[in-house]
Copies of this chain bind each other. A is one copy, B any other.
Amino acid sequence: MSIRSKGRIISLAWPDRTEPRAKAFPIVKRLTEDRRGVLFVGDNLTVLDHLIAEKQTGASLIYLDPPFFTQRAHETMPRKGAASEVAFSDQWESLAHYLEAIAARLSRLRELLLPHGSLVLHVDTKTSHYVKVLADGIFGFDAFASEIVWRYRRWPSKTENFQRVHDVLLRYRKDPSIAPRWNQGYEALAASTLKTWGTRKQRAVVEEGHRKRSSSTEEESKGVPLGDVWDIGILAPVSKERTGYPSQKPEALLERLVNVLTDPDDLVLDPYAGSGTTLAVAHRLGRQFVGIDESAVAIATIEKRLAEKGVLLTQVPAGR
């Protein structure tokens, strides 16, 4: 199956499509003591071009949680009294400008991905469809691997609509013809299965070419292979994990991605590092990491978060 069949290429189109320009900030680079973690301060477009030019080793996993096109400025939520400040702006002239910005990042990120690597793109349910069509154009329709649904629970609002309780993560592979990094994950068996079969593996019995019956075996089942709908709670407002940075994602979500899609010592890249969840999880699980963010609030949050784990970042000249 190909979207190019019969030469009819389907793409998103809008008038006056332009290439976004990187902000002219200078890049600042910070490095952990063991040199296994890097944090860049600056426009990620500039930094990505810098990384490509420097021919840095590629990443096994790129996770990005870009702004969601909410047309709002997002503020921090400090624990006590302290004034909130703008963490990042998510205001755009138009959806077209937003898509142009995302597309520019994606095409750079693809270059930084190892052949066995995955890119996971966290998107909003209102815009995911536009982003997917765009990303299909950059990675190829066949490089699309999964639409992962992150289902969470939250305080319900009073609206005449089905409560929105999920986000979408799109996974792409750099090269679908190459075996991917893959450490199979499992989740608990369904209640109905447990009732009938217990935790033993079932075995299909085939007679005369037809499936006749199942029987349970001695072997303990590891559970059911991980699906593409993940039930993971959002961070409780009083959770110890909370940094006060808006749009913070739970570590459990990143943990799954890192465990399944990378091996120890692999490199994890997050170009919208935000509160630093990706970096913290990568470090905890023994992976190398590269984070990028242009927001001073984000950088301060990340440094504090990593420092609490005993990881100190020191400034080095960019280009090392």
Chain A residues in contact with chain B, CB under 8 A?
Answer: 1, 3, 5-16, 69, 71, 93-96, 99, 125-126, 128-130, 132-133, 136, 144-149, 151, 153, 156, 158, 160-166, 168, 171, 179-180, 182, 184, 190, 224-229, 260
Contact = CB atoms under 8 A, between A and B. Distances in A.
Contacts of A165: 227-229
B11 A15 contact: no
B93 A6 contact: yes
Contact of A166 (B95, B153, B228): B228
A184 to B, nearest CB: 8
A125 B147 contact: yes
Contacts of A125: 147, 228
Given A162-B260, A163-B227, 19 more contacts: A1-B69, A3-B94, A3-B95, A6-B96, A9-B15, A10-B95, A10-B96, A11-B13, A125-B147, A128-B129, A129-B133, A146-B164, A156-B224, A158-B225, A160-B179, A161-B180, A162-B226, A165-B227, A166-B228
Most buried by B among A125, A190, A226: A125
Contact of A153 (B133, B153, B190, B226): B190
Contact of A10 (B8, B14, B171): B14
5 contacts: A3-B94, A8-B15, A8-B16, A151-B151, A156-B225
B146 A149 contact: no
A96 B8 contact: yes
A226 B161 CA distance: 9
Contacts of A158: 225
A166 B146 CA distance: 11
A147 B226 CA distance: 22
A10 B99 contact: yes
Contacts of A9: 14-15
A240 to B, nearest CB: 17
A136 B129 CA distance: 10
Given A10-B13, A71-B1, A163 B228 contact: yes
